[in-house]
Amino acid sequence: MALKQIDHGSKEYLKMVNLRNEILRKPLGLTFTDDELAGEKDDILIGAFDDDDLLACCMLTKADNSSLRLRQMAVQNNLQGKGIGASMMNFAEIVSRDKGYKKVIMHARETAVGFYEKLGYKVVGDKFTEVTIPHYVMEKKL
């Protein structure tokens, strides 16, 4: 497996949008708008690849000068629970640190809180609803 950054608008980016749609949006009856995708052009886009196959992805959006917000974390359904998500988070944190950021924050789905806790993230605040489902703000100092 190779972990690498993806260019916005590239063919890898199209694979990323497809994976995010399959794993994160379609199950909720939602999709992406063109504006939403255009707004990602300055984000740090990350993929886990096996040759040309995209196994998993996530992205980091600047929250402020010292923090990035992790978003759109998705591992292919049949590959979950094999350590791919944890490896990709480790890579995302290395990229964040290399760029001088001090903290990663996120809106974590309630069903994924245990995954992020294993990686050292802490819930900070109350449950709220986003994309129709319960979430918590979580964060980790790098």
Question: What secondary structure letter does DSSP report for 64?
Answer: S
Q: Is the dihedral of CA 51, 54, 55, 60 positive or negative?
A: positive
Instruction: Give the phi and the psi of residue 116 in degrees, each rounded to 5.
Output: -70, -35
Query: Which listed residue (68, 75, 104, 105) binds ligand COA by CB under 6 A?
Result: 75
Return the range that interacts with ligand COA (CB under 6 A); candidates 1-9, 11-19, 34-42, 112-120: 112-120
* Percent composition of the chain: helix, strand, coil (DSSP 3-state, to 5): 35, 35, 30
The reply to whether 112 sits near ligand COA by the rule CB under 6 A is: yes
Residues 6+ apart with CB under 8 A from 56: 19, 47, 48, 73, 74, 75, 76, 79, 84, 85, 88
Total residues contacting ligand COA (rule CB under 6 A)? 19
How many CA atoms lie less than 13 Å away from 43 in the CB half-sphere? Answer: 25
The pattern of x and - marking residues 28 through 67 that bind ligand COA according to CB under 6 A reads: ----------------------------------------
**Of 48, 108, 121, 139, the one binding ligand COA by CB under 6 A:** 108
* Residue with Cβ nearer ligand COA (13 or 56): 56
d(CA 142, CA 65): 14
Residue 9 or 125: which CB sits closer to ligand COA? 125
| 109 sits near ligand COA (criterion: CB under 6 A) | yes
Among 23, 45, 68, 92, binds ligand COA (CB under 6 A): 23
Binding site for ligand COA (CB under 6 A): 23-24, 73-75, 80-86, 108-109, 111-112, 114-115, 118
